[in-house]
Structure 1
Amino acid sequence: MTEAPIEIDRAALDGHDAFRRMVVDPCRPVVIRGAVADWPLAQIAASEDGSLAAYLARFDAGRQVEAFVGDAAIAGRYQYSEDLSGFNFRRQAMPLGDAVRRIAAGSDSETLYVGSLPMAVALPGLAEDNALPFAPPGVAPLIWIGHASIIACHYDMMDNIACVVAGRRTFTLYPPDAIGDLYVGPIDHTMAGQPVALAAEAAPGDPRYPRFEQARHRAVTVELGPGDALYMPKLWWHRVEATGALNILVNYWWDAFPVGPDQPFPTLLLAMSAIAARPPAERAAWRAWFDHYVFRPDGHPLAHLPEERHGILGESPANAKMVRAHAMRMLRGG
């Protein structure tokens, strides 16, 4: 079984340096209890006196947003159609204020969900009124508002602080190396941008996903209440169930360990196009080279030479730029 996330009380994080040291650097999920319990947004959402819509209206820039809208029969379980050609919900543009009112009012005929809204664009000033002192400097939050929902198991390409503002959320986590047992769906036909783990929604023993039984016991369940937060390193799989009548989440995405302008996932896509269809023996040879130069299980590939002889493989931002420039020249045929 995958090791359960550690838990840290908000009081232990007296700034971003402590957050970096205690939460981010270990590269594993961490629960932060009470992280946003003192936010005005959290307290107003908990009041149940109808003041939430009025509070959000103070910041509403009047933008159109894209909402996921489904029939009540789907019970907020947004997913593919049976043949994966479509989805069981529709995307609908509407003013954010209308979406908030429809969500807050509840409905017996529809389920509605608005996600990944940049607060600085849709609700300017809201982030400043609800600040997270230990968040990475310069990282702008996003807000997610909806009825009860089940978001299919997926991963993020960025590190993530997910803060539960209203309702309760259950995160079911799988480590990145479970990918081969999760039966991942298409990468270019997705519900919300990221591929999903199709097997994570299947019943035990589903014959379509025999390898998932190797991953099922690795699942870790994290229960979060209003005010709690979960830090997830990039590439951790997570299924998210929101169980309140009204659910609000604010999250922060950023790359905690940048080494240059390029992101790893586009590099992966390029490697797929160049290597994946080659013969097995050649793929094995390239795997050895990737291990040696990229993943480095035995340390730096030029550790046997003095550092001044490491050339563009030297550990410096300037050398990283030279590696990138060299690769760009080769891609252009230079």
Structure 2
Amino acid sequence: MPEESVAEISREEISGPEAFQRNVIEPCQPVILRKGCADWPAHRVATKSDRDLREYLCAFDNGQPAMAFVGDTSIAARYHYGSHRDGFNFECETMAIGPALDRIAQCAENPSLGSVYLGSLPAEVHLPGFAEENVLPLVPPTARPRVWIGNASTVACHYDTFDNVACVVAGRRTFTLFPPEAVSDLYVGPIDHTMAGQPVSLATGSSREDPQYPRFEAIRDRALVVELEPGDALYLPKLWWHQVEAQGDLNLLVNYWWDAFAAGPDAPFTTMMLAMIAIAERPAPERAAWRAFFDHYVFRPNGHPLAHLPAEQHGILGPLDKGNYGRIRAMVMQLLRGS
């Protein structure tokens, strides 16, 4: 498990994208970026009032419909599965940003109306021009911003398969973090029946000593809790579990997803899914044998698998950027075709 706290740096301590990649991303640990988006026009508007922020966002709204989660008061704005996990505890409604902001304001004024939450909306689709006014130069241009808007809410503990920078524009955010190796103790729900694309932890948020989740008690108090003020940002590496609690009548978060270490279009998650159908139900001794080969060739705890040979004899196990990515990919595609 990780250390007791998350590292913090200020925006001024990062000289540019290269330093961000080297000092923040490559260690693969969460990092708080204090005042990471404090210079954004959206944040400055949000410091005036919720009304000013709504007007600012509505100026970009092109009327494109979006999916909104709508919860009644019984869920206390904690969006999750329903009681039997065959459904969810909220309803989905389609609405554009402007009407959604009106509903959010109404719910803030009258809590008996419940809560509204919109997540992962591509800014260029729903708020064209927003990204050009509110720029995070630390991420690559291919990482396009997504917006998350709503009342106070709690989003279930989940992971992302991409690197993530989350910028808190309005409202405070509390992130509760667990490292990737906690996956076995979090009692994760189905991969293919999810609220918003990613599996969630069923144990996070449960009562203490809940008999359904005995292993969770060993890590419950070892979570990393990150408190972010408006204007702050958080870098989260791939596969770090995070529950997100938004506080305030109107909350706005903007995030960026990208793969900071991609050598090509193939994603590690895709590889894992293929491994599940190829390996997961084989006998335990054979799985152990394949684990040894994965360790040797993929995870490489003892270094490069051909370190005992000169580099010019490494063949397709040489550097991927020397043409070997394409060679291995062609071999894989040929194998998948059965030829």
> TM-score scaled by structure 1?
0.97
Match of 2:312 among 303, 308, 312: 308
Instruction: Report whether the alignment pairs 1:99 with 2:103.
Output: no
Whole-Å separation in 2 of the counterparts to 1:255 and 1:95? 30
Q: Secondary structure at the residue paired with 1:201?
A: coil
Partner of 2:67: 66
- SS for the counterpart of 1:124 is coil
Partners of 2:16 and 2:141 in 1: CA distance? 10
Shift of 1:21: 2.0
Instruction: Give the superposition deviation at 1:151.
Output: 0.5
In structure 2, the residue matched to 1:181 is 185
Q: Does the aligned pair in 2 maintain the 1:9–1:34 contact within 8 Å?
A: yes
Farther off after superposition, 18-27 or 45-54: 45-54
Choose 318-327 or 96-105, whichever is displaced more.
96-105
Matching residue of 1:292: 296
Find the counterpart in structure 1 of residue 2 from structure 2.
2
Q: Tell me which residue corresponds to 1:326.
A: 331
CA distance in 2, matches of 1:240, 1:326: 41
> How many pairs does the alignment contain?
334
2:120 is matched with 116
Map 1:2-21 onto structure 2 (within 5 A).
2-3=2-3, 4-21=5-22
**Contact map agreement 2:58 2:97 (CA 8 A) in 1:** no
Indicate the percent of aligned positions where both proteins have the same amino acid: 60
Q: Please state how far the C-alpha of 1:328 moved relative to its aligned partner.
A: 0.9
1:149 equivalent in alignment to 2:158:
no
Equivalent position of 1:203 in the other structure = 207
Match of 1:50 in 2: 51
Measured in 2, the distance between the counterparts of 1:49 and 1:298 equals 55
Residues in 2 aligned to 1:268 and 1:23: alpha-carbon distance in whole angstroms: 26
- Please list every run of 5 or more consecutive structure 1 residues that lacks an aligned counterpart in the other structure: none
SS at match of 1:194: coil
Deviations 1:58-103 (A, max 9, x none): 2111100100001022121001012110000011101221001221
Distance in 2 (CA, whole Å) between partners of 1:60 and 1:304 is 60
RMSD: 1.2
Contact 1:165 1:247 in 2 (8 A): yes
Partner residue in 1 for 2:84? 83
Q: 1:246 aligns with which of 235, 247, 250?
A: 250
Q: What residue is the counterpart of 1:226 in the other structure?
A: 230
Residues 175 and 243 in structure 2, CA contact (< 8 A), matched pair in contact too: yes
Measured after TM superposition, the shift of residue 51 of structure 1 is 1.9
Residue in 2 that maps onto 1:27: 28
CA distances 1:82-140 after superposition (whole Å, capped 9, x unpaired)? 21100000111012210012213423212100110110111011111111122223311
